[in-house]
Structures are given as C-alpha cells and as structure tokens.
Chains A and B, each alone.
Chain A
Amino acid sequence: MLFVRLPSQSCVVVLSGLLLGACSGEITTGSPSTGNGGAGNGGTLVTGGTGGSIEVLEPGAFSTGPGLRRLTRTEYAYTVEDLLGFKAERSTLPAELIVQSHGFIAGAQKIGYEDNEKYYTVADKAATFAAPKLLSTLNCQTPACYSDFARAFLLKAFRAPPDDASVAIYAGILQDTKAGDTVSERLETFLTVVLTSPHFLYRKELGTTVSGRSRKLSDDEIASRLSYLVWQSAPDTALFEAAASNALATPARRLVELQRMLKDPRAARGLRTFSSDWMALFRNAIPEKVPAVLQNTDATFANSAERGFELLVDEVLTADGASFTDLLTADHVMGDAAVAKVLGLNYSGTGFIRLPLDTTSHRGVLTHPMVIGAHSKEGGASPFPIGKFIYENILCEVIPPPPAVFPNIEDVPDGLSLRQRLEAMTKDAPCSSCHTRIGPPGFAFLPFDPIARFSRNDASGKPFDTTGTLLLPDETKMPFDGAADLANKLAAQPSVQACIATRLFRFTQGRFESDADSGELATITDSARKNTSDVAQLLTALVGGKTFSEVLVK
C-alpha cells in the first residue's frame, strides 16, 4: 500500500487547489478493477469523506462482495427510524470511507474503535427514546413470552428470521438482572445490544449456492438488497412475506415488489441517496467557504441549499417517465429566499418553491450550490477539481492522483486571464495528459464562485471564456459553450447514460464491477442508453437482472 502526500512546493504554490485535479498518469475508463491506469499508473484512489490523506490501493480491489455490507449512515438512520421512530442525526454516525467518489463500497467499510463508540452512543439514545414506548408490548410473565418478543423484534431488526440460539440470548437479556434492575432498563439494554450488534450493522450477502464465483443470495438477502436500494431501510412485512415464500429469486416477483415499493413515499430516499453519491455530496461544504464568499448570504443558506437539492431530486426523479439525466438538464431549482438570493433569482417569500433558472447560464444539478460547493475550494476558482469531478462522476473515468513532485513550471507571461495562465502552466507533460481533459469542462465553471454565484465577467471586466471541447471516453470530441450547454450535451451522451447505469449497478452491489459482470452490465447500460436513463426502466433492468440475486465472491 502506498501513501501519496499532496505536494506543497513547486507549481502548487501558485495553483494550490487548482491543481487538485491531476498532473500525471494515464486516464482510464471504467472501474478501478478493470482499468489499467490509476495511481502510480495503477491503483484505486481512496480518500476520506472529509479530505485527508490519499490512499492508493491495489488494482482490482473492491470488485467482489465481501459478504457483509455495513449500513451507511443514511441506511442506519432510516432503519432505526423505521424500526423505533427515533431519528438519528447522520453526522453522529461513523462516516463512510469514500472510494473513488463512491460512499458505499462495502469492502472498504471497516468498523473501528471510534466507530463502535459512535454506534453505542446513538444506540443508547435510540434505546432511551424507544424503550418507554415499547414497554407496553413487553408485558411478559413467562420465558416463552420473552422469546416470542425477541424473535419478532429480531426478525425486523436483523432482517432475517433469527435462529433459536440468538432468540435465547436476546430473550435472556430481557430477563437478566445484569442488564438492568427493571424491565424498562433491561429493554433499553436489549435495544442497545440490537442496534450495535453486527447482525444489525451489516446487511448479510453471503449467498448459499456456489456457482463459480457467483453465490445465490437467499430470499432474505434479496429482500434486503431490494429494500435498501429503493428505501434505504429494512424490508417491510410484505417483503418479508415474499422472502418467506421463497419468491424473490424469481425476477418477475422482484419486479412486482419493485413497482409496489416505488409507489411508497420512502422510494424518494433511495433516489436521493444515489443522486447525492453520484454528485459526490458526502458533506455540505458550503459552511467551509471563506467569509468573503459567504458574505451577503443568509444564515440559513447552507441548509437551504441542501434541502433544495433534496427537493429537486424528489421533484425531478419521481415524475412520470423521469430520467436520471433530467437532473443534469433541469431548467429550475427548488429553493427558498436564501437560495434565490445567491442564484440571483427573484423570490423573497417563505418556503421552498420551484424557481426557474436562466438556462443560458444554469442547468440542473451541475450548477447547483451544493454540487459546485462540494467540488470547489473554500475561495477562488476551482476549474480543475470541477473538471475532475465531471470526468469521474459523470463519465466514470478514472483520473489518477497528481504526481508526488510537481514539475517546475516556467514563468507565465503577465497579462493573461486566469484560464490562459492555467492552460499555460499545464500544457506540457506530465500535467497535460490529465489537464487537457479536465481543464475544458472545468473552465466552463469559471463564472461560478464556490457557492454557485454567477458573473459573466472576470475581475478585469472581460467575459469569461467558457468554451471548450470535452474529450469523451471513446475519444470523440464534444464542443460546448458554458456550463449550461455542457450539462445539456452531457445528458444526451450515451457514455453518460452508461456511466449512470454503471454507478447504479455499483450502488446496488456495493462494489465495483468486474470482468465477470460484463455481460450483465452491458445489458443494463444498453437499457440506459435506449431509454435515456429512465429511472423506472433502469431499476427494472437492474432488479430484474441475474446479478441482482447473486453475490460475486473472490
């Protein structure tokens, strides 16, 4: 394992975060496992959710299912909410390790010492909240009654029928004076154990039948895969019953359940979570901006932007016939007065409404404050990080990390615009291999400040040059003029639709794809291309596919 330290000398003195894109290496298309390039010309880029050191792992990592999928913060919070009515604050839960802009790669999600502390603290609060409410249902006088209670509760919590030994252990907690002097205290302890148990923290995807490297998931495991894909939470009773009748191995039955689940309001959770991950929104970066950037914004702006993003996803993706690419082309945002103020829109009322955008400059989520905020520095322009984000998250290409030592860069003549200076500084090898790609789409965003305020002219009063040509994965060239035009054209690109399908496949499987998935993945990506990333069609292709009921092991 290698550790790459960010450079602090040379051209970085001038460019700093501007160069947090890439400077060397080969650009590859596809997953880290199938690509030839990567860090040190071969590897997987892994960063922490809030920055930090860059870790380089071996190629091929995380392309198989480890058999256990740690609940993400979102999944944990929704599962506890649905189980006990307790709303856990996501920021208090252990953060996911972000693997190349993916927050759900199961093989990378270790649970360490501090994570256990966090889980315990949240579980303790949830148990304190829920025990008094559950106490009336625990009116037991006999051991058998306690066993019945434990069995019913564990089925929901552990998302599979518990075996007799587990029932005995957990029923024992409810009767053990070491767990508390009173029934109420013992119930609190019982709930805390449940919510911190590995049986709760992991979704099990062990599979049962060996077939090459593929193992067939059990019906309970399929039920969980489906419910966490769509609802980000545990299966409901109907899904448990379908699992109990061994029906979920059949694609047709899965699709029946999918259609039912998509009609449930909880379906918005899955779409929001996937969309946030697609846009690499692992945290709200707006509050981190420098005071000069946040000047003249309302105190609620950061939260408003986040809420507005969620509402936009809800509104766009739950519409009939919606496509994921509609998020890229939306001609409006959902915003309140705080959002409107930053985006220069005319609205000072209360609450969130649909706010039409000036589509000559803005389009969809790529020009949204949350997305630009997540991929910009705290202050100043950030064309390369934004360009890198577009290549990695919209086109599914792998951009290797910058070199350990930056090359010396000759003096750049005075009198150039920012874009001209950056282009001059990155025009030669080794920078050029990446920057000729990530530069143009990044420059399209020069008119946006780090919270998506727009201005057509730079500080000198000259219009920003936002024209460029995007080099697509198949090496064809896509000219554009400005971020809105870029977003529109990206949405129509088959490679973008294929990327969405690929990311959704990874989201479902909790891993990167491998060569063994190529046939199935081709079917899904073809569907995406044919149906322009239609949400329902894509989910149908995914859930109805063979790999949905399988786990690929090493």
Chain B
Amino acid sequence: MIKASRRQLIQQMGAWPLLWPLLREGRAEAQSKPKRAIVIYSPNGPIMDLGPAIGTETNFKLHEWWSPLERHRDVGNFFVGLHQAGVPFGEHNEYGHQSGGTGALTARTTEKTNNSTGPSLDQFIGQALQKANMSTPKRSLLWGLHNNAGNWGPWYESAGKPIAPEMDPFKALAAIAPNLRGDAVSIVDKKLTRKHFVLDKIYKDCKGLTSGLGAEGKALLDYHCNSIESLEKSVASALATQASQTVNCSTPAKPNTALTAASNFSAADNRDESMKAFTRLISLVFTCDISRVVGVSFGDTASRFAIPASYKVPSADKVDSGDSGPQHHAWTHTYNSGADKRLALKTFYTWYSEQVAKLLDELKKTLDADGKPLMDSTLVFWTSELGHRPGNNSLEPHPNDNIPVMLFGNSGGAFKTNRMFTATGNNEQRALVLHQMMVSVIQHTGLPNINEFGNKGTGPLAWLRG
C-alpha cells in the first residue's frame, strides 16, 4: 500500500505534480477539490402519472413509482412540472420522441432533424473541464444498458455527432484499466490531517514554553503538553486507521458482476447485473479521479428497453410503432389507461428508481481520497425526454412536458436538499428551470463562469442555494 496525498492520486498527469507550485491559486483550488457529476437518462417517460413528488416544497412525499428514492430524500431535490429544455415550446405529440430525445440532454432545438446541434450535458462538462486545464485521464465516460445506435439518442459529443454508451462493463473496465495505478492508495482525510498538523505545532509550542517557569507552572504546562501529545497520538492513530481504509485503485480482476465477458449485455435479464457493475465502476473512476463526469443511459428514446423478466412487467399488445411485449416504449404507445399499463409503467419507474437509489447508496458509502463520501462532491442529475399530460392518460401522448427531473447532492453544502420544486408558468418559463439546473450542474464541477448551456443563456438555478 502506498500512502499518498489526493493530488498524487491523479493519474497520468505527467509533470503535473512538479508544476504544482506554479499553478495559479484558482486552478489549484479547483484541482484540489474534485467536483463530480453523473448525468442519467431514462427513456420514454412516465406518461400516465405526474411525478416524482406530491406536495409542497418542504412537505411532500414521493410518488410511489419513485419510492425507492425515499432513502435518499436527504440529498434530493425533486422537480415537478418542468418542460423539456431546448425544444420549441408548444405541442410535441407527433415528434415527442425525436425532439425530446435529441434535446433532453443538449437543451437545444432539434425537432425533426434527428440530430442535436450541440453536445449533451456530460460531454459539455468534460470538454469544458479540459479547456480549463482540469481534465482527468478520461474526459468523460458514458455507460448504459441499452441503445438504439444513435437513433434519436440523447448523447452527443457535438452538433451532429451522436455517441453511444458502452454497454459492456468488461469493456468499460478495460478502457479505464490503463489509468488505474495498480495499487491501493490511502485515504487522506483533510480535516483530520489538518488537526494532526495543528496538534503537532502546538505541542512544540507547548514544550517551548517552559523557560522561566517555576515548579508550579511547569507542572501545569507538563499536564497540558502531555494532554496535547495524547490527543495528537489519538488523531495519528485515527489517521492510520483511515489510511488502512484505502481507495483501491488497483485494477479489479473483473467488474462487480456475476456476468462474464461472454455474456449478452443486450439481454434484458442481465440488466440488474450490468447496472451493479457500472455502479461500482463509477465509484472507482471517481475515487481514483479517472474522470469527473459519467453519463448513465437506461436506453435511447423510443428504444425497446425492457427489464429482467423477474420483475413481471405485463406484455403489451402490438402497437402502432410495431412494438409489443414487456417494453417501456410499447406501453407508451398503447391506447388505454388500464391496470396493465399502469402496472407496467410503475414497474419500470420503480426499477429505474431502485437503480438510481443503489448508485446513491454507493456514492454515500464510498470515501474519496479526501476521506469524504463521494456524495458530498457529486451531483446526480436524472431526466427523461417525456413526461405527462394531465387528463390525457388513455391515448398516446408524448409530451415533452411535466418531465420528472431529480437532482441529488448538495454540492459540498452549497445546495439545500430534501425539497420539492413545482414549476409554474408557461412552457418556456418551465423549461427555463431545466436550463438553469443544467448550468448549476456545470458550475458545480468547477466551472463557475459558465452561465450558458444549450440554446439559452440563463445562469444557474438560484433556488438550489436558497
């Protein structure tokens, strides 16, 4: 095991450590405290119900479809009534999937073009960090459980340049393995380290005070010095204990999954295991500072996404899109509001929520190299391209409206959490909130001067701070 500061953890930085003292203060500050972001996209929307929360700002409950996230209310902000950012503000029944899919994470007007005119949020952040000389070995990472090979997908490197998530956790691991230093690195709790530094200094101060003291004063001072030394030893011991709790930056033999490299990662039945693997990989790349931004995709818009059969999603009849079976997309096209449809959509959203909740579990329990939970420095943004249109459950609405959006994390204490935001106003006003939220996520990663994302220059969402 190697003892190292967090700075030494930064992988493949070449001469970075040597150049450190020469860096401007602002950059050093940003480098010293990594801020991370996870961008999650789930396709096809809840359609039948308005979520994810019901109530008022501070007195609310989660809709039962999102109930697995109840255990993470403490770090969550739940948004109701948001309109898709970027798309033209009006009706989008016909092109809901297209305009929503390409605009959900890009916040740009792309209706009918099948292509975005700018990067998705994850790619934008990675590129901006690189420009600001805060890049990590991997500028950003994009992993997922299903994709339509870029067909109306939400992930874009740049205008007209869609990208597809890696679905194979084994390949994902192989891609980051060269950036893992191959050993375990001790956690450095900066607060405790500072306490130890202070106690060491004042112990020396104490020992240096004895000159001129009589026996009475020396006895008092000896007692004090000994008590400082005792506390210093206690803190040193705690540091040593923490140091044994390493951030393991060695390359795992395989991803955290029962699957094998030969498994079919497109198979619905493997998606629990795939997500489990990606969850652990996310904590690995964050703790070892291989990347500070990760995209997680549950599938592209209109994709034939399904979850393992064990969840017993009812099977939809063949619908106008040609889909059928236990697929999220097929159920969004059924012309009914029956119990089967409700059960299907509920099961999908409960499953998505459980996967996100497990990811949040991982972020809360995993310490980074500064000895703090990853959750303290990570924002998790989860959105979709479709939402809900009140009073129109029975047909085939594809509204880019009333989208369930959630933001987890308090950005190191900067954001208030455990709240519900209910958007009001016209479509444009309610879309503005989503624009602003995306800017807040960007700024959180160490880019405080970026006030624009997508096709609107909005500034951050002030509500998050107050």
Contact = CB atoms under 8 A, between A and B. Distances in A.
A554 B216 contact: yes
A107 B220 contact: yes
Contacts of A207: 212
A198 B218 CA distance: 13
Contacts of B176: none
Interface in A170-218: 173, 177-185, 188-189, 192-193, 196-199, 202, 206-207
A117 B227 CA distance: 10
Choose among A66, A178, A180, A189 the residue with the greatest number of B CB atoms under 10 Å from its CB.
Answer: A66
B377 to A, nearest CB: 15
Nearest to B212: A206
A553 interface: yes
Interface stretch (B190-198, B338-346, B439-447): B190-198
B212 A197 contact: no
B32 interface: yes
A116 B201 contact: no
Nearest to A111: B224
A197 B202 contact: yes
A198 B198 CA distance: 12
Given A116-B228, A182-B25, A66 B217 contact: yes
Interface residues of A, number: 41
A179 B197 contact: yes
Contact of B223 (A112, A188, A189): A112
A198 B25 contact: no
Q: Taking chain A's interface residues, is the majority helix, strand, or loop, or is none over half, making it mixed?
A: helix
A152 interface: no
B231 A117 contact: yes
Interface string A211-247: 0000000000000000000000000000000000000
Given A66-B216, A111-B224, A554-B214, A199 B198 contact: no
A462 B329 CA distance: 89
Choose among A123, A189, A197, A554 the residue with the greatest number of B CB atoms under 10 Å from its CB.
Answer: A197
A110 B214 contact: no
A68 B198 contact: no
Contacts of B225: 198
Nearest to B221: A68
A70 to B, nearest CB: 8
A116 B231 contact: yes
Given A192-B194, A198-B224, A169 B201 contact: yes
Contacts of A179: 194, 197
Interface string A55-72: 000000000101110100
B212 A193 contact: no
B212 A67 contact: yes
A188 to B, nearest CB: 8
A113 interface: yes
A239 to B, nearest CB: 22
A120 interface: yes
Contact of B220 (A64, A66, A117, A182): A66
B215 interface: yes
B361 to A, nearest CB: 30
Contacts of A197: 201-202, 205
Interface in B190-248: 194-195, 197-199, 201-202, 204-206, 209, 212-217, 219-221, 223-225, 227-228, 230-231, 234
B227 A206 contact: no
Contact of B215 (A111, A124, A199, A554): A554
Choose among B29, B209, B219, B224 the residue with the greatest number of A CB atoms under 10 Å from its CB.
Answer: B224
Interface string A100-111: 000000010111
A202 B218 CA distance: 13
A181 B28 contact: yes
B337 to A, nearest CB: 54
Contacts of B216: 64, 66-67, 107, 553-554
Given A67-B212, A112-B223, A182-B25, A196 B217 contact: no
A206 B213 contact: yes
Contacts of A298: none
Nearest to B201: A193
A207 B7 CA distance: 49
B213 to A, nearest CB: 5
A198 B201 CA distance: 10
Given A64-B216, A68-B213, A180-B194, A110 B224 contact: yes
Contacts of B202: 193, 196-198
Nearest to B224: A111
Interface in A105-143: 107, 109-113, 115-117, 120, 123-124
A169 B208 CA distance: 12
Choose among B21, B28, B29, B198 the residue with the greatest number of A CB atoms under 10 Å from its CB.
Answer: B198
Nearest to B204: A169
B362 to A, nearest CB: 27
A107 to B, nearest CB: 6
A435 to B, nearest CB: 36
A155 to B, nearest CB: 16
Nearest to B29: A182
Nearest to A119: B202
Interface in B323-365: none
A218 B98 CA distance: 84
Contacts of A193: 198, 201-202, 205
Nearest to B216: A66
Given A113-B227, A199-B205, A554-B215, A182 B28 contact: yes
A67 B214 contact: yes
Contacts of A199: 205, 209
Contacts of A182: 25, 28-29, 32
Contact of A66 (B25, B206, B209, B214): B214
Contacts of A554: 214-216
A554 B32 CA distance: 53
Contact of B205 (A68, A183, A198): A198
B228 A67 contact: no
A146 to B, nearest CB: 15
Contacts of B209: 68, 198-199, 202
A111 B209 CA distance: 15
A112 B227 contact: yes
B198 A192 contact: yes
B32 A181 contact: yes
Choose among B199, B217, B219, B234 the residue with the greatest number of A CB atoms under 10 Å from its CB.
Answer: B217
Nearest to A202: B209
Interface in B2-28: 7, 21, 25, 28
B25 to A, nearest CB: 6
Contacts of B29: 181-182, 184
Choose among B32, B204, B205 the residue with the greatest number of A CB atoms under 10 Å from its CB.
Answer: B205
Contact of B214 (A123, A173, A553): A553
Nearest to A180: B194
Contacts of B217: 66-68, 206
Contacts of B32: 181-182
Nearest to B31: A181
A139 to B, nearest CB: 11
Contacts of A109: 220
Interface string B158-199: 000000000000000000000000000000000000110111
Contacts of A553: 214, 216
A552 B300 CA distance: 85
A178 B194 CA distance: 8
B224 A67 contact: no
Given A68-B221, A199-B205, A189 B194 contact: yes
Interface of A: 64, 66-68, 70, 107, 109-113, 115-117, 120, 123-124, 169, 173, 177-185, 188-189, 192-193, 196-199, 202, 206-207, 553-554
5 contacts: A67-B214, A117-B231, A120-B231, A182-B28, A196-B199
Given A112-B227, A197-B205, 11 more contacts: A64-B216, A66-B219, A68-B221, A113-B230, A116-B199, A116-B228, A169-B204, A173-B201, A181-B29, A182-B32, A554-B214
**What 7 pairs across the A-B complex have the smallest Cβ distances?**
A67-B217, A181-B32, A66-B216, A66-B217, A111-B224, A206-B212, A197-B205
